[in-house]
Structure 1
Amino acid sequence: MPEGHTVHRLAAALERSFGGQRVRASSPQGRFSDAAELDGLVLLGAEAVGKHLFLPLAPSADVAADSPVVLHVHIHLGLYGSWTFAGDPGFADAHAIGAPRLRVGEQEEAVGADWRRLVPRPTVRLRLAGPSGLADLTGPATCEVLDAVGRQAVLDRLGPDPLRPDPDGAGRRRFAERVRRSRTTIGALLMNQQVIAGIGNIYRAEALFRARLDPQVPGTDLSAFLLEDLWEDLVALLAYGARTGRIVTTEPEHRDLEARILERSRGTRQNGDEDAGVVPREKSFYVYHRQTLPCRLCGTTVRSQDLAARTVFWCPRCQRVRSRRSNWTREHPAAAWALSS
Structure 2
Amino acid sequence: MPEGHSVHRIARQFSRNFVGRPIAVSSPQGRFVEGAAILNGREMIDARAVGKQMFLEFEGEVWLRVHLGLYGAWDFAGDILVDATIAAANGRMGQTNQRGTELDEPVFDDAGENSLASIGAPRKTRVHVRMSEQTRDIDDADEWPPPVVGQVRARLMTTEACADLRGPTACVVETPEQIRAVIDRLGPDPLVGDPAENEERFVAAVRRRAVAIGQLLMDQAVVSGIGNVYRAEMLFRAGLDPHTPGKSVPEEIARGLWRDWVALLEIGVQTGQMMTMDGLADDAWRRAMASRDDRHWVYHRAGLPCRVCGTEILLEEMQARKLYWCPTCQE
Report the TM-score, using the length of structure 2 for normalisation.
Answer: 0.82
Report the RMSD for the aligned CA atoms in angstroms.
2.3
1:128 aligns with 2:140: no
Task: Give the 3 Å change call, closer, same or farther, for CA 92–78 of structure 1 in structure 2.
Answer: farther
1:292 aligns with 2:306: no
Shift of 1:37: 1.1
1:301–1:315 Cα contact (<8 Å) kept: yes
Shift of 1:85: 1.0
Aligned match of 1:202: 229
Q: Where in structure 2 are the equivalents of 1:200-279 lying within 5 Å?
A: 200-253=227-280, 278-279=289-290
Shift of 1:94: 7.0
For structure 1, the residue ranges without an aligned partner over 5 or more in a row are: 59-68, 260-274, 321-341
1:97 aligns with 2:131: yes
2:302–2:313 Cα contact (<8 Å) kept: yes
Partner letter of residue 72 of structure 1?
A: W
Partner letter of residue 295 of structure 1?
A: C
Q: Where in structure 2 are the equivalents of 1:124-163 lying within 5 Å?
A: 124-163=152-191
Aligned match of 1:48: 49
Q: Partners of 1:92 and 1:252 in 2: how far apart?
A: 35
Q: Deviations over 1:50-90 (max 9, x none)?
A: 000000001xxxxxxxxxx3111000000110000111262
DSSP-derived class of the 2:172 partner: strand
Shift of 1:92: 7.2
Task: Give the 3 Å change call, closer, same or farther, for CA 203–86 of structure 1 in structure 2.
Answer: same
DSSP-derived class of the 1:31 partner: coil
Shift of 1:252: 3.1
Q: Partners of 1:81 and 1:317 in 2: how far apart?
A: 36
2:23–2:156 Cα contact (<8 Å) kept: yes
Q: Partners of 1:55 and 1:182 in 2: how far apart?
A: 33
1:192 aligns with 2:183: no
Task: Give the 3 Å change call, closer, same or farther, for CA 146–99 of structure 1 in structure 2.
Answer: same
Task: Give the 3 Å change call, closer, same or farther, for CA 100–227 of structure 1 in structure 2.
Answer: closer
Q: Partners of 2:264 and 2:79 in 1: how far apart?
A: 33
2:234–2:260 Cα contact (<8 Å) kept: yes
1:28–1:122 Cα contact (<8 Å) kept: no
Aligned match of 1:39: 40
Q: Deviations over 1:137-181 (max 9, x none)?
A: 0100000000011001101111101232434x1111111111111
1:206–1:286 Cα contact (<8 Å) kept: yes
Q: Partners of 1:241 and 1:101 in 2: how far apart?
A: 13
Partner letter of residue 143 of structure 2?
A: D
For structure 2, the residue ranges without an aligned partner over 5 or more in a row are: 81-123
Partner letter of residue 25 of structure 2?
A: A
Task: Give the 3 Å change call, closer, same or farther, for CA 276–174 of structure 1 in structure 2.
Answer: closer
Q: Deviations over 1:25-71 (max 9, x none)?
A: 0000110021011110001120100000000001xxxxxxxxxx311
2:275–2:295 Cα contact (<8 Å) kept: yes
Aligned match of 1:12: 12
Aligned match of 1:180: 207
1:255–1:284 Cα contact (<8 Å) kept: no
1:76 aligns with 2:67: yes
Partner letter of residue 98 of structure 1?
A: S
DSSP-derived class of the 1:286 partner: coil
Shift of 1:91: 5.4
DSSP-derived class of the 1:289 partner: coil
2:74–2:166 Cα contact (<8 Å) kept: yes
Q: Partners of 2:134 and 2:223 in 1: how far apart?
A: 25
Task: Give the 3 Å change call, closer, same or farther, for CA 100–121 of structure 1 in structure 2.
Answer: farther
Report the TM-score, using the length of structure 1 for normalisation.
Answer: 0.79
Q: Partners of 2:19 and 2:129 in 1: how far apart?
A: 18
Partner letter of residue 20 of structure 1?
A: G
Partner letter of residue 235 of structure 1?
A: V
1:17–1:92 Cα contact (<8 Å) kept: no
2:129–2:135 Cα contact (<8 Å) kept: no
